Structure 1
């Protein structure tokens, strides 16, 4: 089996309180992001906030400042404008939030009229238009929250059946930790929370669980073999070190694939790939510094449960 690390003897458990402190700070940002999303204060995509999004290109060069000023003069001060120059020259995304379902279909034609009037020197060719009403956006928000909760419940049940309840709780807390950390980092970076981002979070839940299951399986086997030869923390440390090379190789391979998607996949999947890259790093970290230390703390406070 390919190894990039020789036999290691890192004291992961001894550093667990530093990891808990770092994770605690980042989880606070994740919780803040969750509250902001629930209150509609975060940067939500039209999937959740409701609105109209146009994509298209100008036949002649137009600066983003000109475009923003043209829309602002006609009442669209809060329009979000993004240059998609990687798609093609003078290619823009224009997104406008709406407050009623009736506005969704009307706004796209209004914006086209504004661009024709304000920027007559360069025709705007629309490639696509998407619209979602506020009511549908709220429904999608609710469904996204339920999807995450159901995924967490499924993880708890799966690990409980495969290992036992304590491992299930540790895996569920670790997965929730990973989701909140990625959400918090995206919130700090002011990225839009869209259905694609939620898809990335659910994908990461499965990816993180895979690393955790491999580690838990090694811990369980080592507890059977070496429990009488060493203390509990030594057994967990040995287990983490044994799977460390495998974990790093898997993470680097997956990260390389997602990085390629991030670099050449285009604007549509840009945030999706970014969330996955952040999640791979977070998931690798949490399997070593969060999942196993939770079990260690459980053993320290209630040792009889692990006999």
Structure 2
């Protein structure tokens, strides 16, 4: 059987400063973008409004589409190319129009369709799909999405607190929170529209990232129960990551392959979900190796556990790995 990265001996923990610098720079870039361009780009599902996907027989001029809708009294529309040069999405989110949709959500979509047929001719414009959401429903969906993310985080925290010592649980929760922050920065930097599918991707990433960290921490806990010969916690963390590396590589590779298939084949509707998940695979891998471990080291250095077992002695010795050869020499000198 082919085994990838079998018996690897990479040192991960010692690069935590570089990892922290990259993470902070990326999050700051996202915050700066928030300050410059404003808040999150919510979809019709959260803001309320009408979304139409239309297909023309010949590639139209975007300026003509916009002027046609303005003449029909539908102002403030967002027009974007959607895949081919003949396909476009039209978003109508004007405040007055959204309020009007509370009574009849399909009214504006009919007005848009009639205006386009009058300008480009009957049969030259096809309405592929229409989504219309009233302002009240949009607000409820946004509130529900936020509640779902908070509850998922809370249940993850409870599970980790029960499954691990609180030090491990706290490190895993902080690592997962890091993944969510970096993902939000990614969404903002690339101006992805936050829809229900993107929220689903974030919730999936929440569980995926926590699972990856839990697997490594399980191996750390097993290794801490073994005789250490003076091995420090940083070395135990590195060894645990290397021991789970073959499994992690195979899991991330297969997940990424499925995600890339969605990204390039599944179409525009599912593409934001695929983008967030593809990015999330890399973020989850990064945080489980370079974020969760160093945070655990810091927590253990500040709040060492009180016990006279090998685990506590390994923790209290510090955070830098000690070469086994050096340990052996020290033990021989002590014996003399």
Q: Distance in 1 between matches of 2:286 and 2:218?
A: 18
**1:95 is matched with which residue: 91, 100, 103?**
91
Q: What's the C-alpha RMSD, in Å, of the aligned pairs?
A: 2.5
Structure 1: gaps spanning 5 or more residues = none
- Give the deviation of 1:47 after TM superposition: 1.0
- Helix, strand or coil at the partner of 1:54: strand
Aligned equivalent of 1:84: 82
- Helix, strand or coil at the partner of 2:4: coil
Q: Distance in 1 between matches of 2:2 and 2:150?
A: 37
Q: Which moved more, 1:218-227 or 1:121-130?
A: 121-130
- Helix, strand or coil at the partner of 1:304: coil
**Larger of the two Rg values belongs to structure:** 2
Seen in structure 2, the aligned counterparts of structure 1 residues 270 and 113 have a Cα distance that, compared at 3 Å, is same
- Helix, strand or coil at the partner of 1:93: strand
- Give the deviation of 1:152 after TM superposition: 1.0
- Give the deviation of 1:263 after TM superposition: 0.6
- Helix, strand or coil at the partner of 1:80: strand
Count of matched residue pairs? 303
Structure 2: gaps spanning 5 or more residues = 313-336
**2:60 is matched with which residue: 55, 59, 62?**
62
Aligned equivalent of 2:19: 19
Q: Distance in 2 between matches of 1:175 and 1:51?
A: 34
Equivalent residues of 1:30, 1:182 under 8 A apart:
no
- Helix, strand or coil at the partner of 1:303: coil
- Give the deviation of 1:77 after TM superposition: 5.1
Once the two structures are superposed, residues 134-164 of structure 1 have per-residue CA deviations (whole angstroms, 9 ceiling, x without a partner) of 2222222221111111111111111111112
Aligned equivalent of 1:9: 9
- Give the deviation of 1:33 after TM superposition: 7.7
Q: Distance in 2 between matches of 1:217 and 1:165?
A: 14
- Helix, strand or coil at the partner of 2:106: helix
Matches within 5 A, 1:91-240: 91-99=87-95, 100-103=98-101, 104-120=105-121, 123-240=124-241
Seen in structure 2, the aligned counterparts of structure 1 residues 121 and 102 have a Cα distance that, compared at 3 Å, is closer
**TM-score normalised by L of structure 2:** 0.82
